[in-house]
Amino acid sequence: MIVFLLAVVLVYAVTIAQLIYGFGKIKTFTPTHQQPQTYFSIVVPFRNEAKNLPDLLASIKQLDYPIELIELILVDDFSEDQSQRVVYDWRMNNGQYEFTLLENINMTGSPKKDAIARAIHIVKGQWVVTTDADCTFPKGWLRTLDNFIQQSQAEMLIGSVSYAPSKSFIRQFQQLDLASLQGATIGSFGLGLGFMCNGANFAYTKKLFHELGGFAGNQNKATGDDVFLVQKAVANCPEKVHYLKAEGNIVSTKPLTSWGALFQQHARWASKAGDYQSVFGKDLAVIVFLGNLAILMALALTLFGKLAGCELVALFAIKFLVDTILLYKTNQFLTGKWMWGLVPSAVIYPFFSVAVAVYVLVFGYSWKGRRFKV
């Protein structure tokens, strides 16, 4: 059994090592002082975000980008709180912005895709930028995007996302978890095998969206407005898809405050994997699951006296080493800070990851007060 478990962990380690190599292949972009030219239509779907919308709107207001080159479209997905009141109040005091508030129309099994598609029908700019209502942005967010667009032939840009800093363990756990996802995203693009992104910092041309057929083919998948579109683009026109690795383009989002909410979030994310168009993406999901499962199996065998403790430690150490290298590189880029809570997070994560995978297959997940089956 130790030979089998070692083989699984070694395959996992080699795969993560490839991502580490790919991460280094994506060079950090440094903007120049070009005059802004790109008109951006910022699209924000939201549901019950009254607490977060003020920060989002204040952050948009402080962007270092010409107001005449910004359009803001918010799409309300049947909120049951005071979200619309917050938006109306802001609109009354900020009439200088090109601004539209839409009501979502549910046409498919994916409310978020419906919201984005509804907004794209009316956007005035060629570039659509999607983000989430719980996000805030660095001042140079759009300026960095514009700068990269002017220097490339890109029609789709994937940006970085990080959590606001916090000292609580659950938030540190989430930052490390997000760093692993961001590291895998950047690394896969560095290998020429990009398959993932985060809709909180995602930009593409309206032209490319229509050329790809929009969300056709996965409208009934409640989540995945971002990854499925990226995978379509990479499959059809990889030269147009770029990862924008730039410190001035890192969007900050708010971590969840409970383990239950975090579990459901990961169940939602995990539900996408079975529908990936990317073979590499599917393979990576399986390898990561098996790598975590191997650690749990080794622990169980050790407890039952079927495996020596030193063998368990060796397996864990191999996985921990490659994970730490990728996490360190990614977290340094995202936050520039040390990774507090690394060891306890590494111990907890195999339990968390395997439990999420099993749960989503059996029960589905809940999101924004709605229940979805896989």
The tens digit of pLDDT for each residue in 276-287 reads 888 999 999 999
3-state DSSP call for residue 51?
A: coil
Cα torsion at 303, 306, 309, 312 (round to 10°)? Answer: -90
Sole residue written with tokens 């960095």: 144
For residue range 289-312, list pLDDT tens digits in order: 999 999 999 999 999 999 999 999
Residue 256 has which token pair? Answer: 């969840």
Nearest Cα neighbor of 301 from 312, 314, 290 is 312
Residue 26 has which token pair? Answer: 């994506």
Whether the pLDDT of residue 6 is over 80: the answer is: yes
More confident residue, 247 or 111: 247
More confident residue, 102 or 366: 102
Averaged pLDDT, 325-345: 92
* Residue 366: predicted pLDDT: 67
What whole-number percentage of the chain has pLDDT above 70? Answer: 95
Half-sphere exposure of 236 (CA within 13 A, CB side): 15
Residue 296 has which token pair? Answer: 């749990």
Residue 284 has which token pair? Answer: 């990576």
Supply the mean pLDDT for the chain. 92
What's the Rg (C-alpha) of the chain? Answer: 21
* Residue 106: predicted pLDDT: 81
How far is it, in rounded angstroms, from Cα 328 to Cα 323?
Answer: 8
pTM: 0.91
* Residue 317: predicted pLDDT: 97
DSSP string, 236-280: H-GGGEEE---GGG-EEEPPPSSHHHHHHHHHHHHTTGGG-S-HH
Burial class (CB in 10 A: 0-12, 13-18, 19+), 32: exposed
* Residue 347: predicted pLDDT: 95
b/e code 90-111 from CB counts within 10 Å (16+ = b): bbeeeeebebbebebeeeeebb
For residue range 214-270, list pLDDT tens digits in order: 888 766 665 666 888 999 999 999 999 999 999 999 999 999 889 998 998 888 878
For residue range 33-83, list pLDDT tens digits in order: 899 999 999 999 999 999 999 999 999 999 999 999 999 999 999 899 999
Q: How far is CA 320 from the centre of its chain?
A: 23
Averaged pLDDT, 99-120: 88
Fold of 29-171+192-257: Spore Coat Polysaccharide Biosynthesis Protein SpsA; Chain A (3.90.550)
Whether the pLDDT of residue 370 is over 60: the answer is: no
Sorted by sequence, the CB contacts under 8 Å of residue 266 that are 6+ apart come out as 352, 353, 356
* Residue 115: predicted pLDDT: 92
Beta bridge partners of 156: 204, 241
